[in-house]
Amino acid sequence: MEEKPKLLLLYASQTGNAMDAAERIAREAERRSCPVSLYSIDQFDPSLLPSQRAVIFVVSTTGQGDTPDSMKVFWRFLLQRHLTQDWLEGVHHAVFGLGDSGYQKYNFVAKKLDKRLSGLGGTPIIERGLGDDQHPSGYEGSLDPWMSSLWSSLNHIYPSLFPNGVDVVPDMKLMNQSKVSVTYHVNDVASLLYSTSSGFESRALLIESARLISPARFPADKSRPQCWLKMTRNCSLTQASCGRDVRHLEFQFHSNAVGYEVGDVLEIIPSQNPDAVDAFIRRCNLDPEAFITVQLRDSSNAAAAASRVPIRLRTFVESTMDVDSASPRRYFFEAPTIYVISDIRLLHYCNYKAAYLQLATLPKVMSYFATAEHEKERLEYFASAEGRDDLYQYNQKERRSVLEVLEDFPSVQMPFEWLVQLTPPLKSRAFSISSSPVAHPNEVHLTVSVVTWTTPYKRKRSGLCSKWLAALDPQQGVFVPVWFQKGLLPVPSPSLPLILIGPGTGCAPFRGFVAERAVQSQHGPTAPILFFFGCRNKEDDFLYSDFWLLHSRDGGVLSEEKGGGFYVAFSRDQPQKVYVQHKMQEHGQKIWDLLSKGASVYVAGSSTKMPSDVMSTFEEIISKQSGVPKEAAVRWLRALEKAGRYHVEAWS
C-alpha cells in the first residue's frame, strides 16, 4: 500500500464557514509543500483515526452549543465506552472552532472535541483556536495567528511535512482550469426534460436536476423537495407603524401530505429576485437559454456523469447559486485549493493515495480576471494579509452579494466555471412550525418576521426568504417547495407540565404546543402550562394576542385555575423596560412549584442575550425558592438539562 497523505483535515460545518476555514488551512499547507487530505467529517470513517499521524479539526458550534448535523455520527462514535484512554496514542491533533461569543456556550463543540481527543490519548499540536464572529475580522482574526503557530509546531513534530520549511511559500501560479467543468448541450436534445413532464413534477424535476449537478455539496436528501405546500393565507400580525413586519402564513398540503409533529421545522427553498438573476446573467455575459451540465472536472464517476440531465443555465443559476443574498466569502477573492476525491468509499479501504489527488493553489482569482489596473490592485490588497480587515468590512459587514461585488469590479470577466465554483450555494431556510397536526389537520402554519437591517454604510438590506414569503399572494395560487425536519423541541406528553418562554417570534412553536394540548384536554386530563411571552408594545406587536387570551380564560390550558398561566412583558409600554425574565421573577414561586412537579422547560427565540438571561433567571429563582446557594441551583439546572427537561431553540 502506498504511503497515505501525512496531514488529515476534517471539518464540520453547518452554514459553510467551517468548510471555508478548512479550505484556507489546506491552501496554506499546500503552499508550504505539505500534503493534505481534506474531508467533511461525515465522509470520514472515525475508526481510521488511530492510523493517522496528524489530524486538524475545524468545527462550528450551532444554536446553543449544538453539534453540526454532519458531525453527530462522528461524535457519537467518539463517545463509545469501549474506546480506551490510549486509543489515539501517537496521534497528534489540533482543533479550531468557529463560534460567537454572544452565545452562552461559546465554541462549545470545539472545546468538548478537543477534550475528548486528549482523553482518548491524542496529543495536542497546539492549544485549540477559537474563532469569534464578534471579532472585527470575524473568525479570521483568530485563524491567522493560530495557523502561524500550527505550522511552527507541526514542523517541529514532523519536519518531513515541510520539505521547504514553513516560511518558504512556493510561487503557485493560477491554473487555466477551475475544478468545475460546464458542458453545453444542443437544445433540441436537452429540452426533452421540459417537454416530458408538467406541473409540480416538472418543477420538482428541474430543482432536483439543478441541485444534483451542482458542485455545491447539497445533501442528497435536499435535492428534491419533500412536498409542495399551497399558500392559503398571508396576513400581518403587527401594526404598520411599529416598524416591524411579522407575518402569519398558512399552507395546505398539495402534492402529498407529510406527517409532522409540534416542535418540527419547515425548510423552504426561497425564490430569488428574477431581476437580480437576470442582472447577474447579463453582467457575466451568459446565455440564459443555453442547456448545460456541471461536474467536477476530474471526477472519475462515469455513471454519475452519464445520469446528469441538461438544464437551462438560467434555471441552474436561480436554483443553486445565491447571487443576490449571500456575501461571497474570502475564497471569492482568494480561491480555494482544488480537491478531487474519485470515490469516497475508498476511505474505508484505506486507499488514501487513490482518494487524494494533487492540490493546486489558486490565489487571487478575481484579480487574475481583472483588466483594469486599479481594480486588480484593490483585489490583490483584499487577498493579502494586510487587507484582511478591510475585506471583512467591505464584504461580510456590508453583506454585499456576489452580484454587487461583480458590479463593483466591472473589468472582472470571470468564466462561468469559476462563478459556479465560487458563488455560495442557494440554501434552504428553516422556520419553526407554529401549528399542530392535531389541531390543524392538513395544514402547516408559520410565523415569519421579515428580516431587515441597515449596514454600517447605511444601506437597507432584507432577508431573501422572509421578504419573498411576505410578498406572496395566496390568491395567485402560490406553491412552495419544502422539507420537514425534526426541531430541537421534543413533543411533550399531555401529562407533562410545561414552562414555556418565547418572546417575539419565539412564540411560534408554542402556538402549536398550546393548540395541541387544548385538543388533548377535550379527551382527558392534561398537565398545566406556564407561558411567558414578550414584545415591545401591546398595541403594535402582541403576536396572536386573541389566541393566548382565549386559552388563558375559562379553564383553558393556559388558565391559572388549571395550574398554568399566561404572562406578557411589554418592554416599551412604560418608562422602565420589562422583559420576560422580569415576569418570571414575579411568578418565581409558581415556576418552582411546577419544576418540583417534574415540569420541562422550553425556550425559543433570539439567540443573542435572551437564552442566557433566561437561564440566569431560572438559577436565581431556584436558589431563592429552594433556599440553596446559587452554585447548587446551577448544578440543579444542569442536571435538568442532562435529564432532557430543558430545551432551547434559538436563532440569530
Q: What is the 3-state secondary structure (H, E, C) of 185-250?
A: ECHHHHCHHHHCCCHHHHHHHHHHHHHHHCCCCCCHHHCCCCEEEEEEEEEECCCHHHCCCEEEEE
Q: How many H helices and E strands in the chain?
A: 23, 22
Closest CA to 49 of 101, 19, 86, 100: 86
Instruction: Note the Cα 259 to chain centre separation in Å.
Output: 24
Closest CA to 419 of 309, 209, 277: 277
Annotated binding residues? 13-18, 60-63, 133, 399, 429-432, 463-466, 505, 571-572, 577-581, 613, 651
Q: Yes or no: say if 58 and 7 are a contact pair by the CB < 8 Å rule.
A: no
Whole-angstrom Cα distance, residue 24 to residue 5? 18
What does the angle CA 52 – CA 54 – CA 58 come to, to the nearest 5 degrees?
Answer: 110
Q: Which three cell numbers stand for residue 470?
A: 411576505
Residues that constitute the known binding site for NADP(+) = 505, 571-572, 577-581, 613
**Nearest-angstrom CA–CA distance, 415 and 376:** 17
- Write out the H or E segment, with its range, that includes residue 425: none
Q: Which residues are annotated as a binding site for FMN?
A: 13-18, 60-63, 133
Give residue 321's identity as a one-letter amino acid code. M
Q: Is 302 left (phi over 0), alpha (psi -120 to 50) or beta?
A: alpha
Q: CA–CA separation, 10 vs 39, rounded Å? A: 5
Residues ≥6 apart with Cβ < 8 Å to 518: 439, 551, 556, 557
At which residue does the C-alpha cell 482518494 appear?
355
Q: By the 8 A CB rule, do 510 and 432 touch?
A: no
In angstroms, rounded to a whole number, what is the distance separating the alpha carbons of residues 215 and 297? Answer: 10
| DSSP codes of every residue in 62-103 | BTTTBPPGGGHHHHHHHT-TT--TTTTTT-EEEEEEEE-TTS
Cα–Cα–Cα angle for 156, 162, 168, rounded to 5 degrees = 110
Residue 81: CB atoms within 10 Å:
5
Q: How many angstroms separate the CA atoms of 263 and 250, rounded? A: 16
Residue from 529, 523, 597, 524 nearest 563 by CA: 529
Cβ-based neighbour number of residue 219 at 10 Å = 12
Can you tell me which residue has the cell 462549545? 108
Name which of 170, 106, 159 is nearest 135 in CA terms.
106
d(CA 490, CA 264): 8
C-alpha cell at 55: 489530524
| Three-state secondary-structure class, residue 312 | strand
Using alpha carbons only, give the angle 59, 62, 68 rounded to the nearest 5 degrees: 55
Vertex 581: Cα angle to 577 and 586 (nearest 5): 95
Cell numbers standing for residue 402: 456576489
Binding region for FAD:
399, 429-432, 463-466, 651
- What's the rounded Cα separation, in Å, for the pair 147 and 21? 11
